[in-house]
Amino acid sequence: MGDLYYFEKPTAVDLDAASIGISSQSWDCVNFSDKDKISKATALIEEKRYDIVPIMGPSGQTNEYYTPSDNGKVVERAIEKTLHFRTPIEGALEVMVREQMNHIFLTNDRGIITGLLSACNFNCREFVTLVFSKIVRYEMAIASALREYGVETEETEEEINARKSNLDVDRFEHMTLETLQNNFRKTSFWEGAGFPSKTKYEEWTKRFLNLRNTVAHAGAGRTLIDSNRTLEDLHNVIRDITDETERVISLIQSE
- Tens of pLDDT, residue by residue over 22-34, are 999 999 999 999 9
Of all residues in the chain, the percent with pLDDT exceeding 70 is 95
Instruction: Check pLDDT > 60 for residue 1.
Output: no
Q: 3-state DSSP call for residue 197?
A: coil
What are 116's strand-pairing partners? 22, 105
* 20 CB-near residues (< 8 Å, 6+ apart): 89, 117, 121, 122, 124, 126, 127
Give the pLDDT mean for 202-222.
94
CATH 3.10.580.10 spans which residues of the chain? 3-118
Q: What is the DSSP string of 164-187?
A: HTT----GGGG--HHHHHHHHHTS
Tell me what pLDDT residue 231 has: 97
Tell me what pLDDT residue 61 has: 93
Instruction: Check pLDDT > 80 for residue 104.
Output: yes
Whether the Cβ atoms of residue 17 and residue 117 lie closer than 8 Å to each other = yes
pLDDT bracket for residue 12 (50, 70, 90): low
pLDDT bracket for residue 255 (50, 70, 90): low
Q: What are phi and psi of 78, to 5 degrees?
A: -85, 145
Give the pLDDT mean for 156-160.
73
The angle subtended at Cα 97 by Cα 73 and Cα 117, nearest 5°, is: 65
Tell me what pLDDT residue 125 has: 94
Cα–Cα distance measured from residue 133 to residue 89, given in angstroms and rounded to the nearest whole number: 14
Give the orientation angle of helix 231-253 with respect to helix 198-216, to 10 degrees: 110
116 membership: H or E segment, kind and range: strand 113-118
What are 83's strand-pairing partners? 106
Tell me what pLDDT residue 165 has: 78
Instruction: Check pLDDT > 80 for residue 214.
Output: yes
pLDDT bracket for residue 162 (50, 70, 90): confident
Q: Quick count: other Cβ atoms within 10 Å of Cβ 123?
A: 18
Radius of gyration of the chain measured on its C-alpha atoms:
23
Give the pLDDT mean for 237-249.
97
Tell me what pLDDT residue 5 has: 64
Instruction: Check pLDDT > 70 for residue 2.
Output: no
Smallest CA-to-CA distance from 238 within 251, 229, 226 is with: 229
Tell me what pLDDT residue 173 has: 81
Residue range 3-118 forms a domain whose CATH class is: alpha beta
218 membership: H or E segment, kind and range: none
